[in-house]
A and B are shown apart, each in its own frame.
Chain A
Amino acid sequence: MSRRLGLRKRLALRLFSQLYDDTIARHRLSTLFWECTLRCNLACRHCGSDCRADVAERDMPLDDFLHVLDTQITPHVDPRDTLIIFSGGEVLVRDDLELAGKEVTRRGYMWGMVTNGLALTRQRLASLVGSGLRSVSVSIDGFEDSHTRIRRNPQSYARAMEAVDRILEYPDLAYDVITCVTPSMVDRLEEFKQLLIDRGVEHWRIFTIFPAGRAATDDGLLLSSEQFVRVLEFIRNTRREGKIDLSYACEGFLGGYEAEVRDHFYMCAAGVSVASIRVNGDISGCTSVRANYTQGNIYRDDFWDVWQNRFLPFRNREWAHTGECADCKAWQFCRGGGMHLRDNDGQLMHCHYRNIR
């Protein structure tokens, strides 16, 4: 039974927990999100950013980001070992994305982006690869009906599939397809897996909805506990089968499924090795954290000072050891779940571990 933690895995998790403590103590910055825009060419039902075409927040000027990078980050990190992820909104709405890519590449950083694929034409992709793009993830939320129900644009599925075909033409480009699994897709995952394999896709990542952003008020997006377990079983079986590299996203401790549905044991890297610079200059953990855990702002604070000396709520999670977490036997491995699963009051919005027990 995968739901329960066996002795061998429990021992390994206990050792990993000590390694995690050491990782926190070092908090080496390895991934930096730059939320360069909140504009988007779609208005997806599940969006955690609540982004849309006519956002009030203007894009962050590239020069502002590069100034922080040059004066407050590059002197303290090895750019060759630091990944910058351009994030949105939909990053392709920015006309200066290639310039941004060239500038960070020129400084020695690797960069990647997540896109819905709608505007990833052949020319645009060639232009981005020519600007140093090293990794790209495309969102395809299942078959056309499921995808369109979420993405709310009749062209979005075909364009995303075409984008994947184009990406596959670049063998040196790291990529994966990201699928947000909703109830309508649970029974069709096997079929969809075969579609991806037939298309030549080798890397696939699945995540499930947590109640934030627009999804917080849309019950039709959330999986039941039974459906969630079936998704995890599907991932575990697919990984054993070995025909496609499939992982569950980083969120949430998964008990007996640990190390069976992902390459690694669970840990929340937000504020530990991952930081983000938001479109308004706010400094936080990863961009999935939508509640107010802002630690500073690049227009007021020194980024490196914030990274080194703040981020306490991310690095010491004792504050979360309350409520349903207080008596949980998995606390030492889970530490209250991903930071993105906490609301503004620190309350846990969703517990993956509870869902599989």
Chain B
Amino acid sequence: MKNKLKIAAIALLGFSTACCATRKSAKSGGDAEAPVMEQDTVEARIRLMYGVPMPDGNTSRVLSDEEAQTDRRATAATDNAEVK
């Protein structure tokens, strides 16, 4: 039996969310200014024991130039001062 049929059968049994999840992601090669979204069904993401929740949208964030160039060491000095 094809996987899609199995998933449909599981859904018919009342467990549609237990084996797959819907994903929205930016289409590859899409224009960054106007991202095209594609939606499909993927295997469920297991929430791992020492893992983290899956971010919404399933896409990586693009850092601004300013963010990308920020010197972390200056921030670390501030943080250390606050922790102490």
Are B49 and A286 in contact, with the CB atoms below 8 A? yes
Are B58 and A288 in contact, with the CB atoms below 8 A? no
Looking at A132-140, A183-191, A227-235, A343-351, the stretch in contact with chain B turns out to be A132-140
Are A132 and B61 in contact, with the CB atoms below 8 A? yes
In-complex Cβ contact of B63 among A79, A132, A176 (8 A): A132
Are B46 and A19 in contact, with the CB atoms below 8 A? no
Are B18 and A19 in contact, with the CB atoms below 8 A? no
Looking at A69-77, A117-125, A329-337, the stretch in contact with chain B turns out to be A117-125
In-complex Cβ contact of B73 among A19, A95, A205 (8 A): A95
Q: Taking the complex as formed, is A163 at the interface, i.e. its CB lies under 8 A from any CB of chain B?
A: no
Are A16 and B19 in contact, with the CB atoms below 8 A? yes
A-B contact count (CB 8 A): 184
Looking at A146-154, A264-272, A307-315, A318-326, the stretch in contact with chain B turns out to be A264-272
- Distance in angstroms between the alpha carbons of A95 and B13 in the assembled complex: 50
Q: Taking the complex as formed, is B79 at the interface, i.e. its CB lies under 8 A from any CB of chain A?
A: yes
- Distance in angstroms between the alpha carbons of A127 and B82 in the assembled complex: 14
Q: Given the known A-B contacts A9-B15, A19-B19, A135-B52, are A109 and B73 also in contact in the complex, defined by CB atoms under 8 Å?
A: no
Are B52 and A136 in contact, with the CB atoms below 8 A? yes
Q: Taking the complex as formed, is A8 at the interface, i.e. its CB lies under 8 A from any CB of chain B?
A: yes
Query: How far, in Å, is A111 (CB) from chain B's closest CB?
Result: 8
Are B49 and A123 in contact, with the CB atoms below 8 A? no
Q: Taking the complex as formed, is B39 at the interface, i.e. its CB lies under 8 A from any CB of chain A?
A: no
- Distance in angstroms between the alpha carbons of A131 and B59 in the assembled complex: 15
Are B53 and A135 in contact, with the CB atoms below 8 A? yes
Q: Which residues of the other chain, B, contact A12 by a CB distance below 8 angstroms?
A: 9-10, 13-15, 18-19
Are A269 and B46 in contact, with the CB atoms below 8 A? yes
Q: Which residues of the other chain, B, contact A264 by a CB distance below 8 angstroms?
A: 17-19, 44, 46
- Distance in angstroms between the alpha carbons of A134 and B57 in the assembled complex: 10
- Distance in angstroms between the alpha carbons of A172 and B55 in the assembled complex: 8
0/1 string, A86-117, CB within 8 A of B gives 1:
01000000011111001001101110111000
Q: Which residues of the other chain, A, contact B18 by a CB distance below 8 angstroms?
A: 12, 16, 258-259, 263-265
In-complex Cβ contact of A95 among B7, B70, B72, B82 (8 A): B72
* Chain B contacts with A in 50-66, Cβ cutoff 8 A: 50-56, 58-61, 63
Q: Which residues of the other chain, B, contact A81 by a CB distance below 8 angstroms?
A: 23, 25, 58
Query: How far, in Å, is A276 (CB) from chain B's closest CB?
Result: 10
- Distance in angstroms between the alpha carbons of A16 and B10 in the assembled complex: 8
Query: How far, in Å, is B54 (CB) from chain A's closest CB?
Result: 7
Are B19 and A114 in contact, with the CB atoms below 8 A? no
- Distance in angstroms between the alpha carbons of A263 and B83 in the assembled complex: 37
Are B49 and A112 in contact, with the CB atoms below 8 A? no
Q: Given the known A-B contacts A105-B63, A263-B47, A264-B18, are A112 and B79 also in contact in the complex, defined by CB atoms under 8 Å?
A: no
In-complex Cβ contact of B60 among A31, A105, A205, A250 (8 A): A105
Query: How far, in Å, is B16 (CB) from chain A's closest CB?
Result: 10
Are A22 and B3 in contact, with the CB atoms below 8 A? yes
Question: Which residues of A come within 8 Å of B, CB atoms?
Answer: 8-9, 11-12, 15-16, 18-19, 22-23, 30-31, 33, 78-81, 83, 85, 87, 95-99, 102, 105-106, 108-110, 112-114, 119, 121-124, 127, 130-132, 134-137, 172, 174-176, 203, 205, 207, 247, 249-251, 258-259, 262-265, 267, 269, 273-274, 286-288, 338, 340
Question: Which residues of B come within 8 Å of A, CB atoms?
Answer: 1, 3, 6-7, 9-10, 13-15, 17-19, 23, 25-26, 28, 43-56, 58-61, 63, 67-68, 70, 72-73, 75-76, 78-79, 82-83
Known contacts A127-B75, A273-B43; 15 further A-B pairs (Cβ under 8 A):
A12-B15, A15-B19, A16-B6, A31-B51, A81-B23, A87-B50, A95-B72, A109-B60, A121-B83, A123-B82, A131-B63, A132-B63, A135-B53, A176-B52, A258-B18
